[in-house]
Each structure stands twice: as structure tokens, then as C-alpha cells.
A and B are shown apart, each in its own frame.
Chain A
Amino acid sequence: MVKSYRPDTLPEALKLMETRDMIPFAGGTDLMVKYQSWKGTLPGFPKDVLFLNYISSLKKIEVKGETLVIGAGVTLSDVADYPETPKVLRDAVLSIAAPGIRNIATLSGNICNASPAGDSICALYALDASVVLSKSGGNRECALPEFITGPGKTSLNSGELLTAVKIPLKKANVQEFRKVGTRKANALSKLSFSAVAEIKGDTVDGIALAFGAVGPTVIRSTELEKKLTGKTLEQIKLIQKDIMNDYSAMIVPIDDQRSTAAYRKQVALNLLKNFLESGLVQEMQ
């Protein structure tokens, strides 16, 4: 039978992580489904479990300088309720599951689960988020695209714990999150789209576009974003076709139980087109 541990402090937790191979348990809403057994029987956790919900220092969400720092114990509801949370992330978080799950599931858990359909991850890519990985010896920071290496895979080393998510609070007067699923609540994404942009006058001052669930990890191209940056609305119209073609080459979804590759690709491109033609334009005019 597996054991479980309930440390009260982070150093205690990290010390435990050093000594044995354990499953860190934050909200647990993915883990409890992943390891569920027959009804009424114990979940089949393959390793010892480390409960993180007694560590109060991980439950902080705060702005430090120009950065929003979200502790690993902060729930999706807390992220949505926090006034400084960027709109694109708030909308993404509120598209996940339903209130009962959001009250216990954590943002960090959504990241560590590393599902290609993880909705918060799509928004966090567009926000240039990074994660803080802690172990007894110290911390390292890792940009999100370097942390998530594939479906369900991360670059978390043994003994390391994701302890916080950091989001630089940049100016962004256009923020859009779109999710396509079978119904509004409790459905996993067929695909998702996040856009974050700063428009000055009629010119794009900065832009980030991210596509979720249309590849093994979130798709974002800083190269194509550079092509849009500094452009006016009229100029974007002229290059829109080329930009769409370039994104089309990068968007490589699969068929699975939730949707088909063809549908995902078409809708992802439609969302992009819609954003370039009306999402951005509304702000510019």
C-alpha cells in the first residue's frame, strides 16, 4: 500500500521529495481520475503521495513588481477571482471544467498535467509565462515552452517541485481566449486560441498568438508575430494571406475521440482569421 505525506512547509516537502519518488498532489482533480479504480475502492496510486495543500506559502497569489506570481497551491477559482489576473488567463481558467472543480484544481496542476488540451497553458504561452522549479538546493526558472516537452511530459527533474507560475504583466489592450468544445462546462477542448496584443493608434505594438490542442504542445511562433508587429491595419490586410498560410503549415492536429484533425485545423485558422479581421480591428478603430 502506498503512503502519503502532509508536510506543512515547503522545505519539509522538498526534503521528502529528495528522499523518495513521490507524486506531488495539489488539487488532485486529474490524479484522482487518472488513478481511479472500481467504484468504492481505493484509487490506485502507483507511488507515495505528497499532499501540497497544507503548505500555506504555496497558496499566495500576488503582484511582485511587474510580475504576477501564482503559487502552486492557488486554485483556478482564485486565479479567476484575482483582480490583477490578465483577461486572457481569466477567460481560459473560467472555460475549464465547472465551479466545483475550479475550486480545488490548481493552475500549476493544469501545467504539470501538460495536456495538449490544457486550456490555461494556451493562455500562459501567449502571456510569456515561466515556472519556478524548486528543490532542496535552490530554485530554477524555466520558460513554459521549455518546461512542457510533449503530451503529458515536462522537464521537471526528480526531486523538483513546481512551486510558482510567473507572468510578466505587460500592456495588452487586446486579449482574447477562445475555446471550442462540445459544451460550455466540463468539456475538454477540441482546440483553443489565445491572443494578446498591444495596439497603439492604428499600429500593432506587440502581439502573441497561441493555439492549443492542435499539436503535441501549444503552438506559437515569435517569428510570425514579428511579421505582424509594427504593422498597421491596412498592412496586415496585405500580408494576412501569407500569415495564414504560414500558421497553417505549423498547425498539425491529430484525430482523437474529441475531434478530427481536419476540423481542428480549419477552426484554428478560422479563429485566427476572425481575430486578425475583427478582434484586432475593433481596438484599432
Chain B
Amino acid sequence: MAKTSFILNGEEVSVEADPLKRLLDVLREDFEALGVKEGCGEGECGACSILLNGKLVNSCMIPLGAVEGADIVTPEGLRETEKGKVIIESFADTGAVQCGFCTPGMMMAAEALLEKNNNPEESEIREALSGNLCRCTGYDLIVKGVKTSAERGKDLW
């Protein structure tokens, strides 16, 4: 066991846990961040996507010991921001959500993209979402959800 401190959704936090514990499990179990989902557990599906120092990462592939001092944003943090609200509403209005399991990860990937590129082409959206699997929608409506987020949030990103 060791103490690890980091910033979680804007708040300084610390946790006593094994440094090899997956960040995914730390976030879900120690911080009740249940928007972080476990799909495959090996980096293929993106359901556990979070932002680590502003970059999209798979939290199932990162042990707690690697995030000392890091800035972490989970879907719980994103949904409280103006940008997050635009993404959520855009996804809802375009029908980008069916079962919803991939949705938090998709939104994190959308946020990571829009931070870098606030007017993405369809091909850029598909590339940005390429690590996030959805088994319901066929992706087109999610792509539309991201495009709509970009349009509605023009002044935010």
C-alpha cells in the first residue's frame, strides 16, 4: 500500500491503495466514479476512457502508481462543465445513445478531440473515436453527436 495523490475533477485527492491497482478500479471503487466503465479491460473498447493531463487514455491500462500528481477528469467531472453539458445534450438530441454503456467513453473522446480541434471533419471525428467501440448505434449517430457538439459549442472550445 502506498499513498498516491492526484487531482480528480478539479479536487485534490489522495488514496491509500496498491500502486499496481488499475486506475479504473481506483476510480470506481475508491471514488465512486461509476461513469468510468469496464468493457474489455485490455484497451480495446474505450469504455474506461478518462482524461489524464488533458489527454484521452484508457484507465484500465494505467496503474495507480503512474498517476502521482496527475490531473484526471472522469465523465463525472466532464458533465459538470459547460462543454460537457453541450456534449450530453448534443448526444441526446442526435440519438447518439442506445444502451449507453459506451457513451461516457465516447463523450470523453469527443471532449479530447474538440479541445484540439473545434471544427473537426467527419474523418477526424471517426479517427478520434477509433478506440471506442459501440455495439448498438453503428457509429453514424455518435459522429453526428460530436459534430453537433462542435456546432453548438463553437464558442466554448
Residues of A within 8 A of B (CB): 1-2, 4, 6, 25, 28-29, 32-33, 36, 39-40, 42-43, 45, 49, 51, 53-54, 77, 97-101, 103-104, 184-186
Contact = CB atoms under 8 A, between A and B. Distances in A.
Contacts, number: 97
B128 A42 contact: no
Given A6-B68, A98-B46, A186 B20 contact: no
A186 B41 CA distance: 14
A103 B49 CA distance: 12
Contacts of B32: none
Contacts of B18: 1, 42
B92 interface: no
A101 B58 contact: yes
Given A33-B42, A40-B25, A99 B63 contact: no
Interface in B83-99: none
22 contacts: A4-B2, A4-B19, A4-B20, A6-B68, A28-B63, A28-B66, A33-B61, A39-B38, A40-B38, A42-B20, A43-B22, A49-B20, A53-B66, A98-B46, A98-B130, A99-B112, A101-B57, A101-B58, A101-B61, A103-B52, A104-B55, A186-B44
Most buried by B among A2, A45, A51, A100: A100
A54 B67 CA distance: 9
Interface in B56-78: 56-58, 60-63, 65-66, 68
- At the interface, is chain B mostly helix, strand, loop or mixed? mixed
B57 A186 contact: no
Majority SS at the chain A contact face: loop
B127 interface: yes
User: Which of A42, A97, A98: most chain B Cβ within 10 A?
Assistant: A98
A33 B55 contact: no
Nearest to B2: A4
Contact of B131 (A4, A39, A101): A101
B20 A98 contact: no
Residue picked from A25, A32, A43, A99, most chain B C-beta under 10 Å: A99
Q: Which 7 A-B pairs have the closest CB atoms?
A: A98-B131, A185-B130, A103-B55, A4-B19, A32-B61, A100-B131, A33-B42
A17 to B, nearest CB: 17
A32 B62 contact: yes
A157 to B, nearest CB: 25
